[in-house]
Amino acid sequence: MSKRYNLSLIKSNFCYTFTEIAKLFHLDISSPQRWYKQGLKVLDEHQRPYLVLGTDLISFLKKQKAQRKITLSEGEFMCTHCRKARRSKNDEILIVMSNVEFSAGNRKADIVGVCETGGSRLRLFSSERKIKEMLNKGQILLPQGERLIWSATKPVNAWFRRIEL
Ligand SMILES: [Zn+2]
């Protein structure tokens, strides 16, 4: 069952640590940590402990609530413009790698697409590990003869690839 959060407890101009967020909603620390992996914005990814601005926490939880009503099938994104599950145009996706590591060898990575019905940007928060799994299962296909190269030096790497799920 999904939990309801009393958003009026959050001060929009206040900065919260994950511990403070957990305390605020009587949750385990793993909840804000999971939200972070799902896209909760932190002020500075290179600074510990992570700090979350109240207004970002509010918009994340509101978005979560809206998304819960929509079930995504494989290969679909939640389009914030259409407010519906959409596929990316021509099923093409872009993988945006970040240099932020969730754990050793598992960097934060986003799957980005373009809404099939318009030009809206679609985004799915993911990780290096999950994307590698999808590649292994053939859920992300690379054009013939090409290789996905994981660069450790560049913060952002982008490829346009066909996704077939
Ligand atoms: Zn759309």
Which domains are seen in the chain, by residue range?
8-68 (1.10.10.10), 76-163 (no CATH)
Is it the case that residue 6 has pLDDT exceeding 80? yes
In the structure, what pLDDT confidence band is assigned to residue 61 with cuts at 50, 70 and 90? very high
Q: Stretch 89-94: mean pLDDT, rounded?
A: 81
Q: Stretch 1-11: mean pLDDT, rounded?
A: 81
Nearest residue to 122 via CA among 21, 1, 39, 34: 39
Q: Distance from the CA of 72 to the center of ligand 1, in angstroms?
A: 14
Q: Distance from the CA of 162 to the center of ligand 1, in angstroms?
A: 19
Q: Distance from the CA of 119 to the center of ligand 1, in angstroms?
A: 7
Are 161 and 131 in contact by the 8 Å Cβ rule? The answer is no
Tell me the per-residue pLDDT of 7-56, one tens digit each, with 9 for 90 and over.
999 999 999 999 999 999 999 999 999 999 989 999 999 999 999 999 99
How many CA atoms within 13 Å lie on the side-chain side of 144?
0
- The Cα–Cα gap between 151 and 144 comes to 20
**Residue 137 confidence (pLDDT):** 78
Q: Distance from the CA of 69 to the center of ligand 1, in angstroms?
A: 16
Nearest residue to 131 via CA among 96, 88, 103: 96
In the structure, what pLDDT confidence band is assigned to residue 142 with cuts at 50, 70 and 90? low
- The Cα–Cα gap between 72 and 35 comes to 18
Q: Distance from the CA of 87 to the center of ligand 1, in angstroms?
A: 9
Q: Distance from the CA of 104 to the center of ligand 1, in angstroms?
A: 35
How many CA atoms within 13 Å lie on the side-chain side of 113?
27
Q: Distance from the CA of 160 to the center of ligand 1, in angstroms?
A: 19
**Residue 20 confidence (pLDDT):** 97
- Residues 6 or more apart whose CB falls under 8 angstroms from that of 94 comprise 111, 112, 113, 158, 159, 160, 161
Mean of all residue pLDDT scores within the chain: 82
Tell me the per-residue pLDDT of 66-87, one tens digit each, with 9 for 90 and over.
777 777 877 888 898 898 889 8
Q: Distance from the CA of 101 to the center of ligand 1, in angstroms?
A: 30
Q: Distance from the CA of 88 to the center of ligand 1, in angstroms?
A: 9
- The Cα–Cα gap between 126 and 111 comes to 7
